[in-house]
Amino acid sequence: MYRAPLDGPPGLPIKIIGYRNACPDPVRHSMDETTHKDTHRHTAIGVTMELNERAEIDTSQVNDVGRGGGSGGGFGIPIPGGGGRGGIIGIVVAVLVALLGGGFGLNAMTNGDEGGGQAGGTDLEQLCSRDNPDRLDDARCRNALYVNSIQAYWQKAYPELGNGKYEATTTNFFQAAVNTGCGQADSGVGPFYCPADRKVYIDLSFYDELASRFGAKGEFAQPYVLAHEYGHHIQNLLGTNAKAGQGDQSGPQSASVRLELQADCYAGAWAKHATESKDKTGQEPLFTSITQTDISEAVQAAEAIGDDSIQERSGGRVNPDQFTHGTSEQRKRWFTQGYDRGDPKTCDTFGTDQL
C-alpha cells in the first residue's frame, strides 16, 4: 500500500477548484527506503492515507493531454474581472466562470508565472501498471486512482438520487494550456469542470499552490479537489448547473455559492465511503485506509479557499456581495455534513436559508 507522509516540504495549489504551481516536477518526490509488503511509504507531501499497491488503476478514466492538448476550443476563456479584485480571488471567481461555460486564465492572477507540469504523450496504462513498482510515486497515477475511487462511488450513489444511471466522464491532465469545450485555458485556471464537454481538467502542478500559498499541505487535499470537481459533474447531470446559471452569480445567498457548497458536500459524501471503492477488477480496494488526519486535511483545504479567507489574504476587506464560493466556515461545514451523513441527498444547499 502507498502511505502518504506525515509531513514534508510545502507545495500544492488552491481553489478547490483550482490551484497552480511553482514546482518544476511536482509529480516526483523522494521516498523513504523503508518498505513493507504491499505498503509503500511516501515521504514528501503530507498524509497518512494508504493506497493499495495491488489495485488495478483504470487509466481509461484519465488522459494526459500534455501542453495545449484536449478537445474543442478555438476561442479563449475570458479572464474574470471581479471588480478589479484579481489576485487569488480571481482563481475562485475563475472556477465559477468555467463552471458556467466561461473560463479563466491563471497567469493573469499569478503575475505570469507558468510553473511546472507534466510531459505530454505519456502511456498512462504502462506507467500506472502494477508491473511498475514506482507508479504511486507519480502524481498522475495517484490522481487516476483518486478518480477511479470517486467514480466508483458515484456509480452506486447517483442512481439513489432518482435520475437514472451515472454517466462516467474523464479527467484530463494538462500542462501549461489546454483546449476544452468551454474554450482554451492555461494552467492558471487550476482544476475545473467544463459542462460543455463534461470533463474535468487539471494541471497537477496546481497542488503546489494549495500547499505553499494556502497552507493546505496534506495529500488528501488532492482527492478532495477532484471530488469537488466531480461534484460539479453530478450537478451537471442532474441539471443543477443549468438552474443555478439562471440565479445570482455573487452574494452570500447566491446560486453560485449554493452550487459550490453543494459540491463540497458531495466531496464529503465520497470521502465517507472512499475505502469501500474497488479497483476495475472489483476485487481490490483502492484505499486501504483513510484517517481522521486525512479528513482534517480536506477540511483545511476547504477552509483555506473560502471567499472571506481569500479576500483577507488579498489584503482587501471582506465583501459578502462578492462571494461566489462561500465562507471558510461554510465550506468546512458543508464538507463535514457530507462526510458525517455520507448521503448526497443531505446536500440540498438550494433548499435552505441556513448556508
Distance of CA 51 to the CA centre of its chain: 18
Residue with cell 483545504: 301
Q: What is the pLDDT of residue 213?
A: 78
Q: What is the pLDDT of residue 3?
A: 36
Q: What is the pLDDT of residue 267?
A: 97
Pairing state of beta strands 171-180 and 39-42? unpaired
Give the pLDDT confidence of 288-320 residue by residue, as tens digits. Answer: 999 998 999 888 888 888 888 888 877 878 888
| Number of structural domains in the chain | 1
Q: What is the pLDDT of residue 70?
A: 59
Domain that holds residue 197: 2-351
Q: What is the pLDDT of residue 254?
A: 85
- For the chain (length 355 residues), average pLDDT per consecutive 10? 35 28 29 37 52 94 80 36 29 39 31 34 85 93 96 97 94 92 85 94 88 81 94 96 82 87 96 95 93 89 84 82 87 94 95 86
CB atoms within 10 A of CB 317: 8
Q: What is the pLDDT of residue 205?
A: 87
Q: What is the pLDDT of residue 237?
A: 96
Q: What is the pLDDT of residue 133?
A: 92
**For 84, phi and psi rounded to 5 degrees?**
85, 10
Percent of the chain with pLDDT over 90: 45
